[in-house]
A and B are shown apart, each in its own frame.
Chain A
Amino acid sequence: MKKSVIITISIIYIAAILVVGFMGIALRVSNPEVYINQIILVKDENHVWSTNKNNADYYTAVNFDKDNPNANVVALKFTYGFENPEDAKPEHSSKPLIYSKFNVERDGVEVQYAGGAYLVKYYRPGEYKIIFTANDAKKKSITVVINVMPDVSDII
Chain B
Amino acid sequence: MNQIKTLVLLQLKDKIDFSSLIDKKTRIRTVIFAILKFLIITAVSFLIMFFSCIEIINIFTPFESPRALILVMSFLLILSIISCTYDLMKNLYFAEDNRVLITLPVNSNLIFISKIIVFEIYELKKSFSFLIPITFGCLLFLALRGVASFAILIWCWLPMLFIITIPVVVGAVLSIPLMYIYRFVKKYTVLQLILFAALLGGGIAGIVYLINLIPENINLMSQWAPISDFIGEFLLSVETKMVPFRFLIEALIGEKSGVSYHFTWWILLKTLVIIAFDVVVLLIGYFTSRPLFFKMMAKNFELNKNEKKSLKNRRLSKHWTFINKEFKINIRTIEISVNYLIVYIVVPLMILLLNALYKAMDTRELGNWLIYTFNMLIICLPMLASNALVATYYSREGRAAYLKKVKPIYALYPLFVKILFNMLFSIPSVFASCYIFGNSAEINPFATLLIAIAVLLLHFGHMIWSAMLDIMNPQNEQYATTGITVDNPNENFSTILAFIISILFAVISYKIFSEVNLYHWGMFAVGIRLMIVSGIFFGGILMLFIKRIKAYYYEIQG
Give A contacts to B, CB under 8 Å. 1-2, 5, 8-9, 12-13, 16-17, 19-21, 23-26, 28, 110, 121, 123, 156
Q: How far, in angstroms, from A16 to B373 measured CA to CA in the complex?
A: 9
Q: Do A1 and B361 contact each other (CB < 8 Å), given the known contacts A13-B354, A20-B370, A24-B368? A: no
Q: Is B475 positioned at the interface, with any CB of A under 8 Å from its CB?
A: no
Max count, chain A CB within 10 A of own CB: residue among B339, B350, B367: B367
In-complex Cβ contact of B371 among A5, A9, A20, A110 (8 A):
A20
Q: Is B343 positioned at the interface, with any CB of A under 8 Å from its CB?
A: yes
Q: Tell me the B328-368 residues at the A interface (CB within 8 Å).
A: 339, 342-343, 350, 354, 357-358, 361-368
Q: Is B457 positioned at the interface, with any CB of A under 8 Å from its CB?
A: no
Q: Do A16 and B374 contact each other (CB < 8 Å), given the known contacts A5-B385, A9-B385? A: yes
Q: Is B92 positioned at the interface, with any CB of A under 8 Å from its CB?
A: no
- Taking a contact as CB atoms under 8 Å apart, the answer to whether B367 and A156 are in contact is no
Rounded to whole Å, the gap between the CB of A116 and the closest CB of chain B is 18
Q: How far, in angstroms, from A4 to B368 measured CA to CA in the complex?
A: 30
Q: Is B531 positioned at the interface, with any CB of A under 8 Å from its CB?
A: no
Give B contacts to A, CB under 8 Å. 221, 339, 342-343, 350, 354, 357-358, 361-368, 370-371, 374, 377-378, 381-382, 385-386, 388-389, 495, 499
Q: How far, in angstroms, from A142 to B407 measured CA to CA in the complex?
A: 74
- Taking a contact as CB atoms under 8 Å apart, the answer to whether A9 and B381 are in contact is yes
* A1 proximity list for chain B (CB < 8 A): 339, 342-343, 382, 385-386, 388-389
- Taking a contact as CB atoms under 8 Å apart, the answer to whether A9 and B363 are in contact is no
In-complex Cβ contact of B495 among A5, A19, A21, A156 (8 A):
A5
* B363 proximity list for chain A (CB < 8 A): 20, 24-26
Rounded to whole Å, the gap between the CB of B352 and the closest CB of chain A is 13
Max count, chain A CB within 10 A of own CB: residue among B343, B363, B389: B363
Q: How far, in angstroms, from A26 to B358 measured CA to CA in the complex?
A: 12
- Going nearest first, the 8 A-B pairs with the smallest beta carbon separation are A24-B367, A16-B374, A26-B364, A24-B363, A110-B365, A24-B370, A20-B370, A26-B362
- Taking a contact as CB atoms under 8 Å apart, the answer to whether B364 and A19 are in contact is no
- CB<8 Å pairs between A and B, sample of 7: A1-B382, A5-B385, A12-B381, A16-B377, A24-B368, A26-B362, A110-B364
Rounded to whole Å, the gap between the CB of A109 and the closest CB of chain B is 9
Q: How far, in angstroms, from A110 to B371 measured CA to CA in the complex?
A: 17
Rounded to whole Å, the gap between the CB of A12 and the closest CB of chain B is 7
- Taking a contact as CB atoms under 8 Å apart, the answer to whether B374 and A19 are in contact is yes
* B362 proximity list for chain A (CB < 8 A): 25-26, 28
Rounded to whole Å, the gap between the CB of B277 and the closest CB of chain A is 40
* B377 proximity list for chain A (CB < 8 A): 12, 16
In-complex Cβ contact of A23 among B370, B381, B495 (8 A):
B370
For A72, give the chain B residue with the smallest CB separation: B364
* B365 proximity list for chain A (CB < 8 A): 110
- Taking a contact as CB atoms under 8 Å apart, the answer to whether A25 and B361 are in contact is yes
Rounded to whole Å, the gap between the CB of A100 and the closest CB of chain B is 10
Q: How far, in angstroms, from A19 to B370 measured CA to CA in the complex?
A: 8
* B354 proximity list for chain A (CB < 8 A): 13, 16-17
Count contacts between A and B, CB distance < 8 Å: 66
Rounded to whole Å, the gap between the CB of B78 and the closest CB of chain A is 26
Supplied contacts A20-B370, A25-B364, A26-B362, 12 more A-B pairs, CB within 8 Å: A1-B382, A5-B385, A5-B388, A13-B350, A16-B374, A16-B378, A17-B354, A17-B357, A20-B361, A20-B371, A24-B363, A25-B363
Q: How far, in angstroms, from A8 to B499 measured CA to CA in the complex?
A: 10
* B499 proximity list for chain A (CB < 8 A): 8
* A13 proximity list for chain B (CB < 8 A): 350, 354, 378
Max count, chain B CB within 10 A of own CB: residue among A20, A25, A28, A123: A20
* B366 proximity list for chain A (CB < 8 A): 23-24
- Taking a contact as CB atoms under 8 Å apart, the answer to whether B388 and A24 are in contact is no
- Taking a contact as CB atoms under 8 Å apart, the answer to whether B388 and A20 are in contact is no
Q: How far, in angstroms, from A12 to B432 measured CA to CA in the complex?
A: 21
Max count, chain B CB within 10 A of own CB: residue among A1, A19, A21, A123: A1
* B388 proximity list for chain A (CB < 8 A): 1-2, 5
For B367, give the chain A residue with the smallest CB separation: A24
Q: How far, in angstroms, from A5 to B378 measured CA to CA in the complex?
A: 13
- Taking a contact as CB atoms under 8 Å apart, the answer to whether A24 and B221 are in contact is no
Rounded to whole Å, the gap between the CB of A14 and the closest CB of chain B is 10
* A156 proximity list for chain B (CB < 8 A): 221
Rounded to whole Å, the gap between the CB of A11 and the closest CB of chain B is 11
Rounded to whole Å, the gap between the CB of B499 and the closest CB of chain A is 8
Rounded to whole Å, the gap between the CB of B486 and the closest CB of chain A is 11
Q: How far, in angstroms, from A17 to B358 measured CA to CA in the complex?
A: 7
Q: How far, in angstroms, from A9 to B343 measured CA to CA in the complex?
A: 12
Q: How far, in angstroms, from A110 to B367 measured CA to CA in the complex?
A: 12
Max count, chain B CB within 10 A of own CB: residue among A9, A24, A121: A24
Rounded to whole Å, the gap between the CB of B518 and the closest CB of chain A is 9
- Taking a contact as CB atoms under 8 Å apart, the answer to whether B495 and A2 are in contact is yes
Rounded to whole Å, the gap between the CB of A98 and the closest CB of chain B is 14
Rounded to whole Å, the gap between the CB of A26 and the closest CB of chain B is 4
In-complex Cβ contact of B382 among A9, A16, A110 (8 A):
A9
* A8 proximity list for chain B (CB < 8 A): 499
* B364 proximity list for chain A (CB < 8 A): 24-26, 110, 121, 123
For B339, give the chain A residue with the smallest CB separation: A1
- Taking a contact as CB atoms under 8 Å apart, the answer to whether A20 and B358 are in contact is yes
Q: How far, in angstroms, from A123 to B377 measured CA to CA in the complex?
A: 27
Rounded to whole Å, the gap between the CB of B244 and the closest CB of chain A is 35
Q: How far, in angstroms, from A110 to B517 measured CA to CA in the complex?
A: 12
Rounded to whole Å, the gap between the CB of B144 and the closest CB of chain A is 32
* A17 proximity list for chain B (CB < 8 A): 354, 357-358
Max count, chain B CB within 10 A of own CB: residue among A13, A16, A28, A156: A16
Q: How far, in angstroms, from A16 to B510 measured CA to CA in the complex?
A: 13
Q: How far, in angstroms, from A105 to B374 measured CA to CA in the complex?
A: 27
Q: How far, in angstroms, from A12 to B378 measured CA to CA in the complex?
A: 8
